[in-house]
Amino acid sequence: MYFSKMHGLGNDFMVINGIDQKIVISSLLIKQWSNRHTGIGFDQLLLVEKPKDPEYDFNYRIFNSNGNEVEQCGNGARCFGLFLLIKKLTNKKSVTVRTMKKKIIINFMPDNTVQVNMNEPILKKVQTPSLYKKNSNNFSIQLLNNNLVCGIVCMGNPHCIIKVECIKNAPVKKIGKILEKDGIFPNGINVSFMKIINKNHIKLRVYERDVGETQSCGTGACAAVSLGIAQRVLSCNVQVDLIGGTLMIKWNGFKHPLYMTGPATHVYDGFIYI
């Protein structure tokens, strides 16, 4: 079975063409392949499939390194788009893709970056009715005998955003590990730590559910920026600095789609015997 290794700002993927070859995958195989010592090593596996609906060009499936299928991956979407180009699966400048729960549009930019229309973020009442407070984008969670103030955003997958004063010393692993499987969040949650530099610039670290801290998280960047814009502490165009590099996020507010723009990198092609 042939595959490609790709990454978006260090968030790395195994990408498989499920259109032109027979595919054999399972949770056990994904765990083996994702192992960075004895396997290929990756954060997520991305699967390209034929669309089931003529409205779409492709079907896009995402599996975390532990084998669980998830709803969305922003960095993966850019790599998914680049994969379509380099494997000559499309010659369009824009493709419409179906994820587990949403439609996204991938645009190929003249500067070789990839832009993704991530749809409108969903704020408030995101899987957390017990936390919801009227006319507020902040929630309070009891954690380690303290009240943790955070924001909850859905970008197709759920995100908890915590503002911090120092990004370097943020308790990413400690708090992320507790919150990702907290009973408040029925389907688990990704946890982002955001340092606001100014209205057009933030720094971000993300603990992804089932994976741990990653070099970059596209949906985490989108969620953090959308929360900041909703709270009027960020402008509509924001530079997001992650460990692996920089993304540009643009959102004109409610009733408008959010756009994420950044690079995608093809590392190598390979094959495995099943």
pLDDT tens digits, 172-231: 999 999 888 877 787 889 999 999 999 999 999 999 999 999 999 999 999 999 999 998
Give the rounded distance of the alpha carbon of 173 from its chain centre. Answer: 18
| Domain shared by 149 and 181, yes or no | yes
The verdict on residue 117 lying in a domain is no
| Domain shared by 154 and 205, yes or no | yes
Interhelix angle for 218-230 vs 74-86, to 10°?
130
| Domain shared by 129 and 250, yes or no | yes
Question: For the whole model, what pTM was predicted?
Answer: 0.90
How many domains does one find in the chain? 2
| Domain shared by 24 and 138, yes or no | no
Hey, what are 180's tokens? 């990702």
The verdict on residue 115 lying in a domain is no
| Domain shared by 64 and 173, yes or no | no
| Domain shared by 211 and 105, yes or no | no
| Domain shared by 30 and 55, yes or no | yes
Catalytic choice (73, 150, 154, 222): 73
Range of weakest confidence among 65-69, 124-128, 263-267: 124-128
Indicate if 73 belongs to the active site: yes
Give me the residue label for tokens 């419409």. 96
Catalytic choice (150, 154, 160, 217): 217
Query: How wide is the angle at C-alpha 208 spanned by C-alphas 157 and 236, nearest 5°?
Result: 60
| Domain shared by 138 and 99, yes or no | no
| Domain shared by 140 and 230, yes or no | yes
Domain that holds residue 46: 2-110+264-271
Give me the residue label for tokens 């409205």. 55
| Domain shared by 190 and 126, yes or no | yes
Kindly report, residue by residue over 78-106, the tens digit of the pLDDT: 999 999 999 999 999 999 999 998 999 99
CATH number at residue 134: 3.10.310.10
The verdict on residue 116 lying in a domain is no
β-strand 146-154 against 122-123: which pairing, if any?
antiparallel
Cα distance between residue 74 and residue 133, in whole Å: 28
Indicate if 217 belongs to the active site: yes
| Domain shared by 138 and 220, yes or no | yes
| Domain shared by 25 and 103, yes or no | yes
- Cβ 214 vs Cβ 6: under 8 Å: no
